[in-house]
Amino acid sequence: MNEKHDGDHHHDGGHSHHPEPPSDVEARTLALESLLIEKGLLTSDEVDRIIDAYEHDIGPLIGAHVVARAWVDDAYRQRLLEDGPSAVKELGYDHPAGTHLVVLENVPGRHNMIVCTLCSCYPWPVLGLPPTWYKSAAYRSRAVSEPRSVLAEFGLELPEEVAVNVWDSSSDLRYMVLPERPSGTEGWSEEDLVQLVTRDCMIGVARPQVPAGAVSG
Amino acid sequence: MGRTRGAGYYNLDEFRHAIERMPAEDYLRASYYERWLHSVETLLLEKGVITAGELRSGHASEPASAPRPRPGPPPAVVARFKPGDRVVTRNVNPIGHTRLPRYARGKSGVIRTVNGPFLLPDSNAHGRGPDWQPCYAVEFSARELWGDGAPAGDRVCVDLWESYLVAERKK
């Protein structure tokens, strides 16, 4: 994928309809933050709390835990597919009220993959911050029109008999993929299984890989 | 950044539309979060929460205006379609905000699930009042969207509000 990094852009001025003369994004952000704090619309504690939550607490480990539990507990898997937010909360995680989560199960013969073509909707409460490529114009357009080529670029070549289902998150629903449990992991503990579940598996651009030598009988 | 939306000054659809209103050249050059910043600045200025002078200085010179009342809870709505129904998406090209992607306009699909009601973004982004509608996961075959070269079994599922859809005529 064509990675587009958040830092490497410049705002040269003159033509912009922007309310501010072109300036450094960070400086603009800090000015807005201090202004909103002075207006009483924001507190620095709130800002710190949100940054801290996304730096430390909210990330793909939540989704990985959910997936691993679904692999070892079939009743939990059913509840997860029926009501995503409740199943996430059942494991002790916060899931914001009014945020919808639909979990898509990969099965033999059907592979699910998520995208948001219109902006970059992403299941933040379970996967944390979206990767840069997920927000790129290339992924957003190609994931729907040529998903198999995109998957191949991620190293996932799917045979023709496996149907690809792409889910375009255009509404208030957020999607997460429940990958198939890899063979060779029978008898593994939930803790060990969590290690196999990457963010990309839950976006649907990868499959869980068992490290060579880790297969137990 | 989301905090001022939480306070009720603007909604998510207005936030998205303010990004869509960016001049194309600026949009393409800006990073993801720079677009967010642009949208928040634009909306807070337009709603009179802050002034251009305050934004330049980073300091408040007058109190913020009052936020708007939030929309009430959704009313009970009756869904026109059920899972398995065949529908066709409208082929429309609205000037403002919509969540009907261009690639899925004028296409034939099948209702998979019934969700919502959710607020119609086309209305919510333009202050036209709450329009709660059922929203459906509509499945399209890749061939319907991209032509016969697409793999036969592949599908694209898009969440679409009811007013984007019409019932497909029986053949």
CATH number at residue B110: 2.30.30.50
Residue B93 placed within a domain: yes
Domain C-terminal end among B57, B78, B95: B57
Residue B77 placed within a domain: no
Q: What is the ipTM of this complex?
A: 0.93
Mean pLDDT of all residues in A15-44: 79
Does residue B147 sit in the same domain as residue B92? yes
Residue B158 placed within a domain: yes
Does residue B45 sit in the same domain as residue B110? no
In angstroms, rounded to a whole number, what is the distance separating the alpha carbons of residues B124 and B97?
Answer: 9
Residue B125 placed within a domain: yes
Q: Provide the 8-state DSSP code for B102.
A: G
The pLDDT value recorded for residue B25 is: 95
Q: Is the peptide bond before B117 cis (omega within 30 degrees of 0)?
A: yes
Does residue B159 sit in the same domain as residue B91? yes
- CB contact, 8 Å: A14 with chain B? no
Taking alpha carbons only, the member of A199, A69, A193 closest to residue A127 is A199
In angstroms, rounded to a whole number, what is the distance separating the alpha carbons of residues A20 and B26?
Answer: 13
Q: Count other Cβ atoms within 10 Å, centred on residue A85.
A: 20
**Angle (CA) A95 B35 B116, round 5°:** 40
In angstroms, rounded to a whole number, what is the distance separating the alpha carbons of residues B128 and B5?
Answer: 18
Does residue B92 sit in the same domain as residue B33? no
Residue of A nearest to B122 (CA): A171
- pLDDT of residue A11 exceeding 50, the answer is no
Catalytic residues of A: 116, 119-121
CATH number at residue B26: 1.10.472.20
Residue of A19, A30, A145 with shortest CB distance to B52? A19
Does residue B51 sit in the same domain as residue B100? no
Residue B74 placed within a domain: no
- CB < 8 Å to A81, chain B: none
- Exposed, middle or buried, A63 (CB in 10 Å: 0-12/13-18/19+)? buried
Residues of the domain holding B52: 6-57
In angstroms, rounded to a whole number, what is the distance separating the alpha carbons of residues B79 and A149?
Answer: 37
Mean pLDDT by 10 residues, chain B (171 residues): 68 95 94 93 93 91 83 91 98 95 98 96 93 97 98 97 94 66
Residue of A35, A40, A41 with shortest CB distance to B58? A35
Does residue B99 sit in the same domain as residue B38? no
Mean pLDDT of all residues in A153-158: 97
**Mutation test of the interface with chain A: which of B15, B22, B32, B122, choosing the one with the most A Cβ atoms within 10 A?**
B32
In angstroms, rounded to a whole number, what is the distance separating the alpha carbons of residues A31 and B55?
Answer: 7
Taking alpha carbons only, the member of A216, A178, A202, A196 closest to residue A73 is A178
Subunit contact A17:B146, Cβ cutoff 8 A = no
pLDDT tens sequence across B26-56: 999 999 999 999 999 999 999 999 999 999 8
Lookup result for tokens 């909306």: B43
State the helix-helix crossing angle for A25-38 and B32-46, rounded to 10 degrees: 40
**Mutation test of the interface with chain A: which of B28, B41, B65, choosing the one with the most A Cβ atoms within 10 A?**
B41
Domain C-terminal end among B57, B78, B94: B57
Q: Per the structure, how many domains does chain B have?
A: 2
Residue B18 placed within a domain: yes
